Amino acid sequence: MGSFSLWHILILALILLLVFGGNRFSSMMSDVAKGLKNFKQGMADDDKDQRSPPPQGQIRNDRPIDVTPEPRPAEPVTPRSDDQADR
């Protein structure tokens, strides 16, 4: 009673076909299939990149970046003249 039977699925598919039309429905399904294919290919590329070592001359980012600020050089202190002290 609570599940879909084959007849329910066929009636739903017929209604969707009537609402969206044959060409539009098939183009939507082909777009979905292309999206899934690109997603799977992207996931495979990510796995491949993680397994392969980096090429020569490329820096590996295994170490954390050092963001400690470098100490600033001390500014030279100039003696104040009496004229500047009065202002």
pTM: 0.35
Distance CA 10, CA 16 (A): 10
Phi-psi region of 49 (alpha: psi -120 to 50; beta: other; left: phi over 0): alpha
| pLDDT tens per residue across span 18-65 | 887 777 877 888 899 999 999 998 888 877 666 666 566 666 667 777
The CA-CA-CA angle for residues 22, 28, 29, to 5°, reads 90
pLDDT at 82: 64
Residue 73 predicted with pLDDT over 70:
yes
Phi-psi region of 78 (alpha: psi -120 to 50; beta: other; left: phi over 0): beta
If you average pLDDT over residues 65-72, what whole number do you get? 81
Distance CA 19, CA 13 (A): 10
